[in-house]
Structure 1
């Protein structure tokens, strides 16, 4: 075992709410409007507690937000503090856009503009201080599980074990990060890589001595070769990959062409051409979920995870660019999701309701059994940096 126009120059919110919302409705067209697979609808309603009308309203707001996050982030406004999807008390969803200099105002019913203390740039700088300290070899205290820019709380949130807050405070202080931006959040169970136990579709990796169960992420190609994206901790470059024929026999399908772990958690397995790789995600025998692209979903969006151990489960994106401290290893650039996973699910796919690939499972805490499932947090390696790092092309459905 072993990552625009002139209005923008005047400030993001100088434009009228009507013009902003008009751009939202125009940008929301396209792949996001594809029909949501029935199995995904079922899992979303089950895991997020949505009624059919609530799911329809969520999908409307998701489409609205999908076309806006890149525009908002690239607006050039240093007051911008992030945007996310948020569920209101009545069960409906809205897009929240935050700024450090914004008079209270309302747009359409599905959008709220919110004033906050810290800009996104200030929060990113504080997180960068923590990242730099760890990258320089400083020992991350036991019980400090990671940190991330938390746009919903307008902080840099540090996940810590119960009783570890004092050592976490000392670690933050030694980094030079702006203490005013820091928030500590208790996490009762430590995240860990999930390929150490049995555990889309199943494959096994072999390092020459042992076999490890993992899950296929997404089908990819490179210069005429085919393979799949998966987690880096599932195998090193050169390790062989297999599928189980029966309980005692395995058959080699290929080998790890490249792998990176820790720091990032990404890999791809080159698969022999006599095997088939489909551009879909396993929907637990209820119909495959087509992959149409890899448009990145915003914080607050719903995503569904598929893996060989626990099947299909859905949750919401809580944060991006999260640094996670696994036992003895640190991984950067992960996305944090409120969803369960178990050993063997590692490398499995995260996909949105419109069929947009998001990433491959890295790790998590708790399990999908009983009450633990509601406490669980998982992390995925975003798919687009993985594809770019290895020069891969995502296979998509027509």
Structure 2
């Protein structure tokens, strides 16, 4: 295993973004989903959409252009599957892209970078990314290690792990594996976090789990979806919020008459725990999401799905914390063990201003991608 010198970047806060699909569809951690999942069209009761400019004003970094996003997506596709490829990063000033790679870039990637209208630079990954991924997966799958998350920084200089408090005190993880440094970047279990009367079935709304007599949990809706082959409609939430068959309502009361789904009993019909995603089936929905404060009635349109590169800014919009921007993507395809759920793959971000990014009840608050009329 060859070590190459490069700069060091430490891991900070951990948050997740789930990618999910309706039954029979496929979604990947790199942001590519199957053609059987699409953002749904509006209904006759669709609300008037607010301009996207209001959301863009909340961003802490310059917007990412569509040209940059397309180039980042193309590079990720070319690099995926190559053991030397780690990740692609959008520079903070949005002047170009950096492809983190071990050794000489492939001829195909080098040719793309040469021909691209976007500035594409290559930076050295210290260790072979495929080796880092294997080590991270082995640590995460070992029940005796106490590791609940394993991160690979963009420079590929180590494997950073988060461990339980007991593991830190009793059985700390090894300091290296096959010559690769293992660094403890956080301590404690990753525990799932458990606007206010949504009548449009949109993203970022408060939803409640109803037992038939009581309310026993609260989460946030993510975004509306539709399965083209059947016409079934639904909204996304987090799989740790409930089980298949659980009922969800939009406003707590003793009878559950105001069910969130406006039919179908607001039933959770599918779960994909590996992405912490789930579908609540609805009779209708609207392609939008709530923005601004936790109790805001302000919303804007949902325009599609997009690849999320390292360096992108994400704004989380949940029903507890509200809209929080300044979450900068550090890693995609991030594997961790979510307490009560198991192995999950998501996106790791760092909050640039130190603000609270999400709180109890924000799962699965929608994540608008920086500066684009595209969200996920």
TM-score by length of 1: 0.63
Separation in 2 of the partners of 1:210 and 1:246?
Answer: 8
- Do residues 41 (structure 1) and 50 (structure 2) align? no
1:15-67 deviation per Cα after TM superposition (whole angstroms, max 9, x unaligned): xxxxxxxxxxxxxxxxxxxxx8223222213xxxx4xxxx2xx524x742443
Separation in 1 of the partners of 2:122 and 2:310?
Answer: 16
User: 1:149 matched to which residue of 2?
Assistant: 152
- Do residues 305 (structure 1) and 316 (structure 2) align? yes
User: 3-state DSSP class of the match of 1:150?
Assistant: coil
Q: Is the 8 A contact 1:99 1:116 kept in 2?
A: yes
Q: Is the 8 A contact 1:227 1:270 kept in 2?
A: yes
1:154-196 deviation per Cα after TM superposition (whole angstroms, max 9, x unaligned): 43321246795573424x87xxxx443344243266431111x
User: 1:333 matched to which residue of 2?
Assistant: 345
Q: Which structure has the highest strand share of the two?
A: 1
User: 2:12 matched to which residue of 1?
Assistant: none
- Do residues 251 (structure 1) and 258 (structure 2) align? yes
Separation in 2 of the partners of 1:355 and 1:305?
Answer: 15
Q: Is the 8 A contact 1:81 1:154 kept in 2?
A: no
Q: Is the 8 A contact 1:244 1:250 kept in 2?
A: no
Give the unaligned 5+ runs of structure 1: 4-35, 359-398
Q: Is the 8 A contact 2:320 2:361 kept in 1?
A: yes
User: 2:369 matched to which residue of 1?
Assistant: 352
Cα distance, 1:115 vs. partner?
A: 2.2
Deviates more, 1:105-114 or 1:118-127: 105-114
Cα distance, 1:297 vs. partner?
A: 1.0
Mark the CA change 1:154 to 1:237 in structure 2 (over 3 Å): closer, same or farther.
same
Separation in 1 of the partners of 2:268 and 2:182?
Answer: 39
User: 1:206 matched to which residue of 2?
Assistant: 210
User: 1:96 matched to which residue of 2?
Assistant: 98
1:352-379 deviation per Cα after TM superposition (whole angstroms, max 9, x unaligned): 1313333xxxxxxxxxxxxxxxxxxxxx
1:70-92 deviation per Cα after TM superposition (whole angstroms, max 9, x unaligned): 434434754333221243xxx66
Q: Which of 266, 277, 281 is the aligned partner of 2:277?
A: 266
- Do residues 192 (structure 1) and 191 (structure 2) align? yes
Separation in 2 of the partners of 1:84 and 1:264?
Answer: 22
Give the unaligned 5+ runs of structure 2: 1-17, 19-50, 195-203, 352-356
Q: Is the 8 A contact 1:84 1:96 kept in 2?
A: yes
Q: Is the 8 A contact 1:40 1:304 kept in 2?
A: no
Cα distance, 1:123 vs. partner?
A: 2.2
Deviates more, 1:295-304 or 1:66-75: 66-75
Q: Is the 8 A contact 2:240 2:341 kept in 1?
A: no
- Do residues 116 (structure 1) and 134 (structure 2) align? no
User: 1:12 matched to which residue of 2?
Assistant: none
Cα distance, 1:264 vs. partner?
A: 4.1
Q: Which of 188, 203, 222 is the aligned partner of 1:217?
A: 222
1:219-234 → structure 2 map (5 Å cutoff): 219-222=224-227, 223-234=230-241
- Do residues 159 (structure 1) and 170 (structure 2) align? no
Separation in 1 of the partners of 2:152 and 2:211?
Answer: 36
Separation in 2 of the partners of 1:233 and 1:329?
Answer: 6
Mark the CA change 1:118 to 1:218 in structure 2 (over 3 Å): closer, same or farther.
same
Cα distance, 1:301 vs. partner?
A: 0.8
- Do residues 59 (structure 1) and 80 (structure 2) align? no
Q: Which of 286, 291, 302 is the aligned partner of 1:283?
A: 291
Separation in 1 of the partners of 2:128 and 2:139?
Answer: 18
Q: Is the 8 A contact 1:161 1:186 kept in 2?
A: no
Separation in 1 of the partners of 2:306 and 2:240?
Answer: 25
Separation in 1 of the partners of 2:73 and 2:139?
Answer: 25
